[in-house]
Each structure stands twice: as C-alpha cells, then as structure tokens.
Amino acid sequence: MKQYPYNVILIDGNPSTKHPLYRAWKGMRERCNYKKHKDYKSYGGRGIKVCERWNTFLNFLEDMGDRPEKYTLDRINNDGDYEPSNCRWVDVITQANNKRKRKTGFTKGIYKNNTTGAKGVHVLPNGKYRAGICINGKTKFLGCFITISEAVCARASALAAKDVTQSDLLKALKHKEF
C-alpha cells in the first residue's frame, strides 16, 4: 500500500487532491481568496466569500454530494456567497443563463446587456427600443421604436429580406406592410 504524509486526507484510499470535485472546490476558494487569481475581481473583489465550513474539502464534499456528469458548481444568487444554501450542480446552459446583470453601457454601438428578451432589440436609456441585425459580421441598426413589438417586427422583416434598406423598413413599418 502506498504511503502518504501524515496530513494527507484519504478518500477511498486516494489522496483528496485526486478526487474529481477537488478542482471545483479549489477553484472556488482561489477565486474568492487570492487577489492574484485572474477572476478575483469578479468574486472576492465583489465581496463573494466561501463559508467557513467549506474551508475543509470534506465538508464541501459532504454538503454538495457527487457532481452529475457534465455539471458545474453554480451559485443560485450570484451576489451571494459560496455556501450550502446558495450552491447547486447545474448543466452549462443553466449556468450560462444564471449571470449577474452587467452595468448598462454603450460600447461600439452595442449595449452590454439586453434586458428586453428579444434578440437584436435593446432598450435605450430614453425608453425607446433599438433594433438591429447582423449582416456579414456587421451590425446594421434598423432604427429606434416606441414599442418593443414595433422593434421586433422591424427586425423580423429585415431578417426576411436582408437586402432591404433601413428607410424601406421604416416606411413598411409605418404602413404596417410586413
């Protein structure tokens, strides 16, 4: 039988560092505790902490249980700490949809967050809706609209006929020719 140093914790005869969940536990702690970690500013830098109980790998393992295949560690409330009541195992799609809202900002003609729920339609600070489509890798803005339904219709029309000009779309929208 292989000999390990006296302070190594064994799980099923193997050092805990070889356990499949060890990397998830270690990554969680590093993101929150080590200022030189590349993601510290999004975790520890925002005040996200690891609960005291989870400073021990065995406690984390006991609380979280086995990770289903292809699942990742997720915090239910992204502003909350890593603790048993706020963590779960989820698939990558669920985790991707569970993101904190970014500050709204205007960068290169595109808003960082889209809170309308409609692809290609963004709400502007003045309450109007801006619609756009991507043609050959370039964003073409279709205009600003008073209601979200107008913006969605304009975008749908533009997608149906990508070679239509913006002024043609606006005329069609005013006359409801879509």
Q: What is the CATH number of the domain that holds 116?
A: 3.30.730
Residues 121 and 91 in one domain: no
**Taking the model in full, what pTM does it have?**
0.53
Cα 158 from chain centroid (whole Å): 28
Residue 177, pLDDT score: 43
- 86 and 75 Cβ atoms separated by less than 8 Å: yes
Q: Looking at beta carbons, which pairs linking 135-142 to residues 24 or more positions away fall under 8 Å?
A: 135/162, 139/109, 139/110, 140/166, 141/109, 141/166, 142/166, 142/169, 142/170
The whole-angstrom separation of Cα 19 and Cα 17 is 6
Count: domains in the chain: 2
Cα 130 from chain centroid (whole Å): 23
Residue 176, pLDDT score: 47
Residues 133 and 87 in one domain: no
The residue among 79, 97, 115 that closes a domain is 97
The residue among 97, 125, 157 that closes a domain is 97
Residues 69 and 133 in one domain: no
Residues 128 and 93 in one domain: no
Backbone angles phi, psi at 95, to 5 degrees: -65, -40
Residue 119, pLDDT score: 77
Residue 113, pLDDT score: 57
Residues 78 and 116 in one domain: no
Residues 75 and 112 in one domain: no
Residues 14 and 93 in one domain: yes
The whole-angstrom separation of Cα 161 and Cα 169 is 10
Instruction: Write the single-letter amino acid at 103.
Output: K
- What are the residues facing 139 on neighbouring strands? 134
Chunk the chain into consecutive blocks of 10 residues (it has 178) and report each block's average pLDDT, rounded to whole numbers.
47 62 90 92 92 91 90 91 95 81 49 65 81 76 85 81 58 52
User: Would you state the torsion angle of the CA atoms of residues 97, 99, 103, 107, taken in this order, to the nearest 10 degrees?
Assistant: -50
**In a domain? residue 2:** no
Residue 144, pLDDT score: 87
Tell the burial category of 36 from Cβ atoms under 10 Å away from its Cβ (0-12, 13-18, 19+): exposed
**In a domain? residue 4:** no
Residues 43 and 66 in one domain: yes
The residue among 97, 118, 140 that closes a domain is 97
Residue 124, pLDDT score: 80
Residues 87 and 112 in one domain: no
Could you tell me the residue range of the domain that residue 167 belongs to? Answer: 106-174
> How many CB atoms are closer than 10 A to CB 149?
12
Residue 102, pLDDT score: 56
